[in-house]
Amino acid sequence: MSEPRSVEQRSTAAPADPAERARLARRAAVASLVGTAVEWYDYFIFGTASALVFGPLFFPNPENPIIGTLSAFAVFGVGFFARPLGGIVFGHFGDRFGRKAALVTTLMMMGIATFLIGLLPTTEQIGILAPILLVVLRLIQGFGVGGEWGGASLVAVEYAPEGKRGAYGSFPQIGNAVGLVMSTSIFALVSTLPDEQLLSWGWRIPFLLSAILIAVGLFIRFKLTETPTFQAAQQQLEADAEAATPKERLPLVELFRRFKKPLLLAMGMRFGEAVFGYIILTIGLTFATNYTDIPRTDILIASTIAAAIAIYTYYFFGRLSDRIGRRAVFIIGSVVGAVVAFPFFWILDADNIPLMYAVYAVAYAIGVGAVYGVEPAFFSELFGTKVRYTGVSLAAQIPSILIGLWPLASTALLATTGGDPWPIALITVLSVLLGLVCAYLAPETNRIDMTKVGEEER
């Protein structure tokens, strides 16, 4: 009978050659960027369509169009309820069996759902079945996103060279900005169509184009390899098994047993960032379209320009956090977000188009850029390797239950107040300050050894 193979023989070790490690790190960063760009392209076009066309197409109410927009945002919010479940499921498989398979699955799931939305008949054509199918596909989208961001972040951060986790971790966030640029620019083009053409076929174009992007994303992700940090964790599991060490708990159980405080702090940071981000991504568009004279195309172009600038600021702030710390950079972005929330709506309400372009750029590229740019590295460094996928995913996705209702709630607030945005601005400021406090209470992590996180508690 042959001898059992050693841990080294059974596991694929990380390449020892520094040049090969650097090459694989760059590939991981690009895979995170491209895949996340595809995922968020899909996601943003749904949000934009909710603000512009889904109301009259799937929830027609000629007497009061804002009711149709409210219904569309309710469907938009439904997807957020599926995201924590996706985070749990894909987090479990990502922590137990590897990051790659989970990431390929999330990309396919969301891509197929998005393409099918572009083929959906409208309520006028098939009645109530149309909004039902829209909800089902939205739930599939949300489930896929629930496991996407955490895995993409880990692939970039766990492969990053020493002292560059913030810079490499910014790549999935850059993918977010690229996805926003693609989605808003395409919608800006189709929104120039006459309303009749936009509502009949023009709105479908951004959804159907996602098929091309999905093919590119899958090609890149299939070439991924597992991260050195995950491989090391797998080797330790095999060594523990040979030494008859007690079996590891499920990642979700282990997360809540040993990492409750980091999870709560990361959730608070994520909540503040997302509430502020959505006033730029969807709420500003709704407010401008329904309560100002600013053309919708100008808002979409402003969003596109702001996201294009953020492609650079995400990386800048991620790299800056490698030097001065994650907490400091996150706090800088939170302060900008709190300061700009009220002026953002004042400028829109004044129909001042040049200032509108400026405030969009500042709010998104700096206010969102600083906090969102450091989240992958910051959140990843708060959790141990064996629960990291689950921890990062749930930190981002549990708050999404409330965040997903934010566009709906803000639209309802606007309808109740007759278009007065001050309650929305106030809620935004309070949410941003919550994220700031959580960042202040979190430990500084930019110099830690990620393979040792949580081990001191054993």
Q: What is the pLDDT along the chain (458 residues), one digit of tens a residue?
A: 343 333 333 333 445 566 777 787 888 888 888 878 887 788 778 877 887 788 888 888 766 677 777 788 788 778 888 888 998 999 888 888 877 888 888 888 888 899 999 999 989 899 889 888 999 999 998 898 888 888 888 888 988 888 899 999 999 999 888 887 888 788 878 888 888 888 889 899 999 998 888 888 888 888 777 767 777 766 665 555 555 455 556 888 999 998 999 999 999 999 999 999 988 877 888 888 889 999 888 888 898 899 889 999 999 999 999 999 999 999 999 999 999 999 999 999 999 999 999 999 999 999 999 999 999 999 999 998 889 999 999 999 898 888 878 877 888 898 888 889 999 999 999 999 999 999 999 999 998 888 777 655 44
DSSP string, 126-155: HTTHHHHHHHHHHHHHHHHHHHHHHHHHHH
Q: Residue 120: what pLDDT? A: 94
How far is 394 from 388, CA to CA, in rounded Å?
A: 10
**Where do we find the tokens 């040993």?**
258
Q: What contacts 173, CB < 8 A, 6 or more positions away? A: 36, 314, 318, 372, 373, 375, 376
Q: What contacts 108, CB < 8 A, 6 or more positions away? A: 214, 218
Query: Cβ(93)–Cβ(102) under 8 Å?
Result: yes
Q: Residue 205: what pLDDT? A: 92
57: Cα within 13 Å, side-chain hemisphere: 27
Q: Which domains does the chain have, with CATH numbers?
A: 18-224+249-442 (1.20.1250.20)
How far is 299 from 34, CA to CA, in rounded Å?
A: 25
Produce one character per residue of 236-250: b if its CB has 16 or more CB atoms within 10 Å, e if not: bbbeeeeeeeeebee
Q: Residue 345: what pLDDT? A: 94
384: Cα within 13 Å, side-chain hemisphere: 22
Q: Residue 247: what pLDDT? A: 53
Q: Residue 1: what pLDDT? A: 38
How far is 243 from 193, CA to CA, in rounded Å?
A: 68
How far is 135 from 62, CA to CA, in rounded Å?
A: 22
Of 415, 405, 453, 176, nearest to 271 by C-alpha is 405
